[in-house]
Structure 1
Amino acid sequence: MTVLRFATHLWFDHQAVEAAELYTGLLPDSHVDRVVAAPPGAAPGAPFLVDLTLVGQQYTFLNGGPLFPFDPQVSLHVLCDTQEEVDRCWTALLEGGGRESRCGWLSDRFGLSWQIVPEALGRLMADPDPEVVARVTQAMLAMEKLDVDALEAAAAG
């Protein structure tokens, strides 16, 4: 079997280009690869498909109408090196009508769910001491945007 391309496909109402521009401007190694116009019978010249790359991974966004809205069952996970990167991504994705959730999750203005996670969380959750992991877990569960300093303080006890 020959696979020519593998990409995650996301269905937007009509904001595929707007979303692609936001996400590619936010994440490194990201760019819009092509925009395909709507087929005959649809709005002439309107964008229909957007092929893009986010942090080296391929995606296709479809302007398919309101039939299938996003829900939290599907989310994009962004692993950040620093608190500054967590803050930058969190703020940009909430802009224009996004909603905060718990434990580093949010929904952007298009309704797509994201997990904005500092690298420190995985490191702390892998601690061999179960008491450290329990304290870090409890701290995380009380947060919306994850806070590296607070997670580190919880780990230290």
Structure 2
Amino acid sequence: MATITQKITPFLWFDRQAEEAAKFYTSVFKNSMVGRITRASKAGFEDHGLPEGTVMTIEFKIEGQRFIALNGGPVFKFNPSISFLVACNTKEEVDGLWEKLSQGGSALMELGEYPFSEKYGWAQDRYGLSWQVMYIGIHEMKQKITPTLMFVGEQCGKAEAAINFYTSVFNNAEVGDIFHYGKGEEPDKEGSIKHADFTLENQGFAAMDSARKHDFNFNEAISLMVECVNQEEIDYYWEKLTTDGGQESVCGWLKDKFGVSWQVAPAILLEMLRDRDKEKVERVTNAFLKMKKFDIGELKKAYGGNK
């Protein structure tokens, strides 16, 4: 039985740089490590295009928080609709992280003083992933790195509805501080979300609306993977997250009604795919490639060689 210590894991879709990126991020942040790896099998080559034995996914932790990187090919590109907010207790830490994360990338908001922070900057790193680095002084940090959703375009104005939806779906969830736009902050509409934080499964998240002109929106480059211990959980999250206009995809992927990508996956799947028995991995891969919502019973049959 797989043990789940972090229910929701940011899942990052790279072209072919997953291993390189994982090593880079673990060199930038403290309390970090590169973790377990799954490798491509012959099955599904026409989908992933990776030679057998090539790194498919790689887990890593930065500041004690788990991420997974995928070598998925040049299908999706990172954009600022989902960024990672890093809270720093010293300005020196802000400077150090900014220098490393912005090198080879670009500044979306230059490092400097803003009304909400004495030192803050928003950068896209060398891989296109977005980071907000913010000085918070002596304030206590419950979580060092916070995934942050920005609702733009046709989704602008829906941040508060999304927060209420997510906190109704997940356990150990609550809405935190909410700051709204006021009069005179056009183009942002009065009452929409300037910044809000919320908790799902005891993990911190943030959200905002932005009515400014943006040429991006949520996509599969960053998804949130929900690991499930049994079929009942898979059925629950799949039904809840696809409700009211969500879209089912393949291999456990879906989009919710706000366009955010999720994966609803059995925790045992990654264990199966790390098995040293190549035939088992082949059978499991062939089985899950045919699925939309994961069926744990069928995966176990494939793993055990039972038809």
Q: TM-score normalized by structure 2?
A: 0.48
Task: Describe how 1:56-135 pairs up with structure 2 within 5 A.
Answer: 56-65=202-211, 67=214, 68-135=216-283
Matches of 1:45 and 1:95 in 2, distance apart?
26
Look up the match of 1:9. Answer: 148
Q: Is the 8 A contact 1:102 1:143 kept in 2?
A: yes
Percent of aligned pairs with the same amino acid: 36
Q: Structure 2: which 5+ runs fail to align?
A: 1-87, 90-134
SS in structure 1 at match of 2:251: coil
Could you give the per-residue CA deviations for residues 80-121 of structure 1, whole angstroms, max 9, x where no partner exists? 111110110001111111111111000111000001111121
Look up the match of 2:201. Answer: 55
Moved more, 63-72 or 125-134: 63-72
Look up the match of 2:191. Answer: 45
SS in structure 2 at match of 1:7: strand
Q: Structure 1: which 5+ runs fail to align?
A: none
Q: What do you get for the CA RMSD once the two structures are aligned?
A: 1.7
Q: Is the 8 A contact 2:250 2:291 kept in 1?
A: yes
User: Per residue, is there more strand in 1 or in 2?
Assistant: 2
What is the CA-CA distance between 1:60 and the residue it aligns to? 1.2
Larger RCO (CA under 8 A, 6+ residues apart):
1
Structure 1 residue identity aligned to 2:195: L
Confirm whether residue 27 of structure 1 aligns to residue 156 of structure 2.
no
Structure 2 residue identity aligned to 1:14: G
Q: TM-score normalized by structure 1?
A: 0.91
Confirm whether residue 145 of structure 1 aligns to residue 293 of structure 2.
yes
Matches of 1:93 and 1:7 in 2, distance apart?
21
Higher-Rg structure is 2
